[in-house]
Amino acid sequence: MNKPLLSLLLLATLSFTACKPKHASPVGRPRLVVGIVIDQMRWDYLYRYYDRYGEGGFKRLLRQGFSCDNTMINYLPSFTAVGHTCIFTGSVPAFSGISGNDWIEQATGKRMYCTDDSTVKSVGAEEPESKEGKMSPRNLLVSTITDELKISNNFRSRVIGVSLKDRAAILPAGHAANGAFWMDDSTGHFITSNYYMPRLPAWVDSFNNGNRIGQFVHNGWKPLYALNTYGQSDTDDQPYEGKFKGDSTTAFPHNLDSSYKIGKSSFRSTPFGNTLTLDFAKAAVEGYQLGSGEFTDFLTINCASTDYVGHMFGINSIETEDTYLRLDQELAAFFDYLDHKLGKDEYTVFLTADHGAAHAVWYMQNHDLPADYWLTAPLIDGLNKVLSAKFGVNALVDTSSNYQIDFAMQSIEAHHLDFEAIKKTSLGWLRQQPGINYAVDMADLGSAAVPEPIKTMIVNGYYFKRSGAIQLIPNAGWFEGRGKTGTSHGTWNPYDTHIPLLFMGWGIHHGNTNDQVFMTDIAPTLAALLHIQMPNGCVGKPIVEVLARK
């Protein structure tokens, strides 16, 4: 080829190259995001047991990460499904539709569980029609941060949700997840539904065949340390502590063999449920090779046994303290695993809670502090008697759930009764009952004499198709009780709504803030970190102090 022709070709090539759009530099993102939700973890647990934590778990999050020390839930009721939904959507029940763990469909009067889906089948359960696996996220009306991550790269990110609880695996993982896995008590296996996949992956089958629960149960539950060293807890065997079935005492050690034979669900109320969950999470990282692809992956983990232990034994029990000391060790091991698998600065983790919990009633009363149980059945019976006497129809109140009153609307309409008059009578009677601070007509909330921020929390939590007509606000220290032991949650008070929020790893600035932030701010903060759109029902805003300074 002659030199003039060669020069002409080179010039043309250079001109073409100059005109071609340059490939944009890749947007910096972590290899993996891990969202850990500790069920029923009050914010003060970070410091109540601080002196007994090791260096690699909660202390590592505090010392290397960023802590939002004044993070609050900004809706009612403060229950599990609502919390997990809010964390990963940045939304509130008014938009997400997840108004409780379950609710009454106002149009039909039918009770609905938050992740029930009759159109799907169980995968991994003994029977495909087992109700344990007939679950999906279809009752969730908005997108999650995990959905938005998948949308951002044409669904090439991998998203997995893990929990003992179905709702705590399904709702965080979102609509477009590759998989969500939860435990079937009858077998002790992790299962899913055919919403996600037609059969369990081989690695899940292998994990399930390991008989881990059998080993935990056989070894029983003994405290990590001598009982007299648990100085942040009450002495053992208190009247407010529940008992494992088959046990004659609430005290350590707990022989789990007998209780597990009586009821398989008893395993959930041991700290080893958290161990099993985090072991399964590691197996999921390996099974899906999370964090090893071209795009950021997302793993959601719920450690649920803290909730079961709290409900059973109360927050001042040695069992609760022992559970958190063990969880601290488990988290340290999990972070160490991620360090070696992905690289210490290659993943981002955040840890928070779906709600807190109240002190046990007996514990409070024993120390001359105001508290009591709110028993739903007598309340409904009493109200129904008042309404029957005035309106001539029995059972006009269907139930009380989520601290709301649900009326029997079909009966009211069939008898052509004045619903406004029924509500007015109900409100007058309810406001006179012990333990009720406010009873609020949701259709007339604007004129209700309820102080902020409670009024806004009620508004945020009200989805008219799934919420009751009257919202009840109990006195501080009061909660709905099903028995005389353990504790619960669901109210506006700080013990239920002040939660931990810590970020650590890739893209995170070290520090802390006491500025008030809300649970709804978690998802938009992650969206800002990942440079993606926030979920479509998000009402929060990014916590800018968390993000690493450039």
Write down the catalytic residue from 17, 71, 80, 491: 80
Supply φ then ψ for residue 58, to 5 degrees: -60, -40
C-beta separation of 240 from 362 below 8 A:
yes
Angle 526-532-537 from CA coordinates, rounded to 5°:
75
Q: Which residues pair with 247 in a beta bridge?
A: none
Neighbours of 157 (CB within 10 A): 26
H, E, C per residue of 462-528: CCCCCCCCEEEEECCCEEECCCCCCCCCCCCCHHHHEECEEEEECCECCEEECCCEEHHHHHHHHHH
Is 520 marked active-site? no
CA–CA gap between residue 439 and residue 444 (Å, rounded): 11
CA–CA gap between residue 426 and residue 439 (Å, rounded): 9
Q: 381: which DSSP letter?
A: H
CA–CA gap between residue 355 and residue 516 (Å, rounded): 16
DSSP labels, 272-324: HHHHHHHHHHHHHHHHHTTT-SSS-EEEEEEE-HHHHHHHHH-TTSHHHHHHH
Angle 146-196-278 from CA coordinates, rounded to 5°:
65
Residues annotated as catalytic are 80
